[in-house]
Each structure stands twice: as C-alpha cells, then as structure tokens.
C-alpha cells in the first residue's frame, strides 16, 4: 500500500511539472533592431532611363517611408520654373510635374537625406533619381568648396549654381543650368553635366528665386569661366556608414533555447565624423556692401526713445529729424559714429507720454535710376504702454548703471567707464569719492568725470591709477541720475590695478607676405579682442592678456584702407582674403609667448578650428 501511494504521488508530480512547463508564459523576444535604410525595389521609369517624356516618376521601397522637410531638401537640376510635387503613396514616393522638360537634357532629382523609413527613421542618404529626355545620360561632374569670406566657416543654406550663359546678368535674371546644395562640410558636387564652358556661383537665396537679385543675399563667384570635359568625370566618393552600433549575435548551443535578444550586449564602435572633401574649385561667400541710400528701419521700442537707421552713412549729406508742435528742448538727437543711425531722446513728459508722435525725417535716398538726392518722409511713431497690473505698489524709480570695476580689478592703463540705458544727467561730484587704500588708511584720489561726446549714456572717470594698488569707489545715493528724474542708490566698490606680471603677452613674428595686413586677436568664439596694423613683415605684440585660449586671424589689406573689404560682383572684385593661425594659442598666467607665423597662404583655416567652433 505504501509503495502504491509513493508511485501515484510521483506520477502526479511529474504530470504537474510537465503541465506547468508547457503553460509557462515568457516575454517574447524583440529581435534585432532594424538599422538599414529603405531599399528601392522598383521604379517607373527606371533610374537612368533615356528618352523620357513623362510627367510622373514613381519610386517604390521595401518598406513604408516618410519625407522629412521635403520642401527645403528636394531639388531638381536643371531647375524647373515650377517645383515638382513630391508625396507619399503607400510604400512609394511619387514625383509629379506639369512643366515640359528640355530636349536632350539630363535631369537629376535630389532628395539629400529627406527619405526615411517609417518605424526607425533610418535615412536614405543622398538619394538621386536621374532621367534623360534624349538618348544620352550626361555623366560629367563639377566639384568644389564654398566658405564664408570673413571667417572661412561653412555658410548655411547655400545653393551652388552652374550657368551655361556666361553674361554677368544671367545669374540675376535667369535660372541656372544646374543646381545643387552645399553639404555641411562646405563641399559640393554637381553630377550629370554635359561638356561645355560654364560660370560657377554660390548663393544664399533669400527669396527662393534661385537668382542673385537682392542686395542682402550672400553671394560667391568664380573670377573666370570653368571648362567641363571628360577629364572632370569624377568617381563618386565612398559613402560613410552612419550606424555606430554592432549587435552581437547570440551563440545557440544545440538543444538549448536562445536568450532574450533584449539582453544582448551591444558594442559601441565610434565612427569619425565625415572628413571634408576637397573639390576642384573654391569660392568665398560674402555680403556685398549696399550701394543705394534708403531708410532701413524706424522704431519706438521705448516711450522716450526713437531710432532711425539708414542703409549707408550719409557722408556729406544731412540726416535730420523734426517733430512738429513740440516745445524747444523737449527732445535731442544723437547720431552714431558714421551718422547712419539717429537716436532720438524725448526729454519732455508731455511729449513722450503721447501714444502717437508725428515726425518729419529728411535723409539721402537713391531712386530707381540710381540718382541720390534728399527724401522727406512723415513718419508716425507709435508706442503702446503695457497694461499695468491691478494692484500696483508705488516705488521710487531707481536709476541703474553699469561699470567696469565691479569685477574687482582693472588692467594697467584701463579707464573707468559708467554706462546706462538712459541719458545721464550731470553727476553730483560732491557725493562721489575715490580713495586709494592700504592696510592702515585711505587717501582721497583726484578724478574727473567726462561725458562721452557721442553717447549721452556713457561717462568716463579719468584719474591716475597705479599698478598693484587698491582703491575704493563710493557714490552716495542720488549722486548719479538720468534726465527723467530717476536717481541712483548708494554704491561702494573696492578694486585694484593688477600687476602687469600677472598677465600674459603674445608676440607674433609675421612673415612671407609683401603688403599691408591687419592682425586680429580673437577669443575662441572668434570675438575680436584687439588688432594691430602692419605695413610689412615683422613682429607685432599683444600685451596684458588674460590666461585662456586665443585665435589669430590676418586680413590681407589689399586696398590699404585698414579694414576688411567685402566683394563686389558688378566690379568683379573678390572679398579681401583672410587666414588663420593654424591652431588655438593657449596662454597661462604670466606667460610671454613668441610664435613665428608664415602667412604666405591666403584663405587658410585648419578644419580642426571649424570643428571646435561648432562645439564638436
């Protein structure tokens, strides 16, 4: 009996184990992630078709796809007057157009990176569809690079235009024969070109006309024509794989189940960023100097201030403003250094409290015939006072201003500057004190407060400040104020004049160029810190520099006007060349660094400097 019970229990246990193992629920495996871009399975017509005369192209993929920013990325070369329609239909991308194609011409439809798969957004890079309306597919190519003329960076949203018509006016009035877009490294390549002589241009197209027809469009041009023949038939560069993740396949032993793929180990392999390719032609894009005189803008962002801006300095001509029905002394004007900007301060409350102010402006204006004379405009200036909150706590208006001693130190020879957002009234010198201090005592230091001749919002404090000494600046309440009866709170600031030995000095021995040049010292974001003019080879010095990283740029001053001069297509003048010191220069506290710089190569900038500027 006992043995029978044991056997029955064993049988029941075995059945239970088998039943549970069969009914066990496990998480389904996800499989390997799709990292492949969409693949073309068919197209009507075939890519590369000849004697094409249809009005529609259909490209079908092996999976569902989406179009990313297709209006900006899709292009046709040669361009059509009316852009084709591109849309998704199931797994296909359709291109439809109504315009009749040119005879015996090869058309290229560029998608760039606009096509992605639906699920994983894998990009089909640089997809092109080519058809010819004649019996031959044109197969020649033009390659090159375009950089910004001032900083040799890659310009954004730049088109590359190739014209068979050689007249200068063609780029202003007609569509190009071929077109493409500059890639992120500054490289371009135009394929499927027929042999011939062409003009090559770069354009940041502001109005989508594909013409250089606006004065504020950035532009680049070759000095001479280019010849395209069989020797220009370049082999396309190899594609760079973007996917950086390799998934290891599981090793499955015989008789065992595979492991859950969601737990598979992934090995990250870093692929370097695409290296900028060097094409045959190099262009430098610039913004041309305006030639016509006109009023650029007029605004009243503050109730007591109006601003008027001209396209060009008026030179010997007048730029004047008059406010009818205003009291004498109720406003005053401040022109900028080159007199192309006129700032108007309204000093009378009965005037600046108006919502609308009628102004009469007289300024130089160039008409459609190119003749410059005076134009008088009546301009209504509006300011809408922001709605005040329901509960208003009345506070005394406080006049605030900035200074350059709040950091606690000045460089030897540096002047103390006070700046405000509204015009200063004359400071009360009796309430302002400057002391030289040491460990035991403080002694009054004489000073002068001098108003800036061009800017009513700026004052200078002139005094003799000695290196290595400490000072105390005290301004009692109401010592500073503005013309709107706002006064300052009391201020007390301790500062010192740092010892010159705590700063760094950079000396550059500039060689191998005959002619004038401007040497500019920049910070690592390329903001100008200082510049020195040189008429010939030699040494130039930048003293009293803080520790940090710097860049150096040279402007080849071809016309000797001591500033960078932009290009002019109508005169056939290229922008003045620039070049960069090959690397960033690191200066540490107290360093004196001497460097030799060969500037014989114009328009040079190491690609590593571009990468650092982009934050890579």
146-157 residue pLDDT tens = 999 999 999 999
Whole-number pLDDT of residue 10: 57
Mind listing the pLDDT tens digit for each residue in 476-532?
A: 999 999 999 999 999 999 999 999 999 999 999 999 999 999 999 999 999 999 999
CATH level 3 topology of 140-232: Immunoglobulin-like (2.60.40)
* CATH fit for domain 503-613, picks 3.40.1180.10, 3.40.1190.20, 3.60.40.10, 2.60.40.10: 2.60.40.10
CA-CA distance, 93 to 577, in Å (whole number)?
A: 45
- pLDDT grade for 57, boundaries at 50, 70 and 90: very high
Domains 40-132 and 295-382 in one fold: yes
Rg (CA), the chain: 35
**Residues 206-215: pLDDT tens digits?**
998 999 999 8
Q: What are the distances in angstroms from CA 575 to CA 90, 194, 213?
A: 50, 31, 19
- For the domain bounded by 295-382, which CATH number is listed? 2.60.40
Structure confidence by residue, pLDDT tens digits, 8-23: 555 555 555 444 544 4
- Check residue 12 and give its pLDDT: 54
CA distance 357 to 78: 53
User: In the 8-state DSSP scheme, what is residue 285?
Assistant: E
pLDDT at 231 over 80: no
**Position 254 confidence tier, pLDDT thresholds 50, 70, 90:** very low
Average pLDDT of span 573-578: 98
Q: Is the confidence at residue 119, as pLDDT, over 90?
A: no
Band the pLDDT of 240: cuts 50, 70, 90. Answer: very low
User: Are the beta carbons of 295 and 341 closer than 8 angstroms?
Assistant: no
Q: Which residues contact 93 (CB under 8 A, 6 or more apart)?
A: 58, 59, 61, 65, 67, 86, 87, 115
- In the chain, the percentage of residues whose pLDDT exceeds 70 is 86
Cβ burial 493-505 (10 Å sphere, 16+ → b, else e)? eebbbbeeeebbb
**135 pLDDT more than 60:** yes
Residue 314, C-beta contacts closer than 8 angstroms, at least 6 positions apart: 293, 339, 340, 363, 364
Architecture of domain 402-501: Sandwich (2.60)
Domain borders along the chain are 40-132, 140-232, 295-382, 402-501, 503-613
First-to-last C-alpha distance (Å) of the chain: 83
Give the CATH number of domain 40-132: 2.60.40.1220
Q: Over the stretch 442-477, which tens digit does the pLDDT of each residue have? A: 899 999 999 999 999 999 999 999 998 999 999 999
More confident residue, 389 or 80: 80
For residue 78, say if its preceding peptide bond is cis, omega within 30 degrees of 0.
yes
Q: In what side-by-side order are the strands of the sheet with 320-322? A: 320-322, 356-366, 372-382
pLDDT for residue 24? 45
Cβ neighbors of 13 (< 8 A, separation 6 or more) are: none
């Amino acid at each position: 009996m006992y043995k029978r019970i044991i056997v029955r229990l064993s049988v029941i246990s075995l059945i239970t184990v088998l039943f549970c193992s069969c009914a066990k629920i496990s998480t389904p495996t996800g499989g390997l992630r799709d990292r492949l871009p969409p693949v073309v399975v068919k197209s009507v017509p075939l890519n590369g078709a000849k004697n094409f005369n249809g009005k529609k192209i259909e490209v079908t993929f092996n999976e569902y796809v989406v179009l990313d920013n297709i209006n900006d990325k899709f292009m046709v070369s040669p361009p059509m007057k009316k852009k084709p329609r591109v849309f998704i239909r199931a797994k296909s991308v359709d291109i439809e157009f109504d315009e009749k194609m040119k005879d015996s011409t090869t058309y290229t439809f560029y998608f760039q990176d606009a096509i992605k798969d639906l699920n994983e957004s894998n990009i089909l890079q640089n997809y092109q569809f080519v058809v010819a309306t004649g019996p031959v597919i044109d197969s020649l190519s033009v390659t090159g690079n375009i950089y910004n003329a001032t900083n040799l960076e890659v310009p954004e949203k730049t088109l590359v235009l190739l014209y068979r018509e050689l007249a200068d006016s063609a780029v202003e009035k007609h569509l190009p024969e071929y077109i493409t877009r500059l890639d992120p490294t500054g490289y371009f390549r135009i394929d499927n070109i027929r042999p011939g002589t062409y003009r090559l241009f770069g354009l940041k197209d502001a109005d989508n006309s594909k013409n250089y027809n606006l004065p504020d469009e950035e532009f680049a041009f070759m000095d001479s024509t280019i010849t395209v023949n069989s020797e220009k038939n370049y082999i396309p560069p190899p594609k760079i794989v973007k996917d950086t993740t390799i998934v290891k396949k599981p090793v499955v032993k015989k008789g065992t189940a595979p492991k859950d793929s969601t737990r598979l180990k992934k090995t990250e392999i870093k692929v370097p960023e695409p290296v900028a390719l060097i094409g045959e032609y190099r262009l430098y894009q610039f913004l041309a100097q305006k030639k016509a005189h006109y009023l650029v803008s007029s605004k009243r962002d503050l109730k007591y201030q109006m601003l008027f801006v001209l396209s060009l300095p008026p030179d010997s001509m007048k730029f004047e403003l008059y406010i009818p029905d205003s009291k004498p002394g109720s406003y005053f004007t401040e022109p900028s250094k080159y007199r192309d900007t006129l700032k108007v301060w309204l000093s009378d409350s009965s005037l600046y409290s108006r919502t609308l102010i009628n102004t009469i402006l007289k300024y130089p204006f160039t008409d459609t015939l190119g003749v410059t004379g005076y134009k008088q405009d009546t301009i209504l200036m509006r300011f809408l006072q922001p709605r005040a909150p329901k509960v208003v706590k009345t506070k005394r208006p406080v006049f605030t201003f900035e200074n350059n001693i709040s950091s606690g130190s000045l460089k030897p020879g540096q002047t103390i500057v006070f700046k405000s957002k509204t015009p200063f009234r004359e400071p009360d010198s009796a309430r302002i004190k400057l002391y030289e201090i040491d460990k035991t005592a403080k002694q009054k230091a004489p000073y002068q407060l001098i108003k800036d001749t061009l800017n009513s919002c700026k004052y200078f404090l002139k005094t003799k400040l000695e290196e290595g000494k400490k000072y105390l600046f005290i301004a009692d309440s109401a010592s500073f104020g503005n013309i709107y009866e706002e006064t300052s709170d009391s201020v007390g600031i301790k500062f010192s004049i740092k010892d010159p030995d705590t700063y760094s000095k950079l000396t550059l021995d500039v060689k191998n160029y005959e002619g004038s040049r401007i040497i500019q010292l920049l910070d690592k974001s390329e903001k100008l810190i200082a510049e020195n003019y040189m008429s010939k080879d030699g040494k130039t010095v930048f003293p009293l520099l803080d520790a940090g990283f710097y860049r150096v740029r040279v402007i080849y001053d071809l016309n000797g006007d001591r500033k960078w001069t932009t290009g002019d297509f109508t005169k056939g003048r290229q922008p003045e060349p620039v070049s960069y010191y090959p690397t960033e220069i690191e200066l540490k506290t107290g360093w004196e660094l001497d460097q030799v710089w060969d500037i014989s190569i114009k328009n040079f900038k190491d690609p590593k400097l571009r990468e650092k500027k982009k934050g890579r």
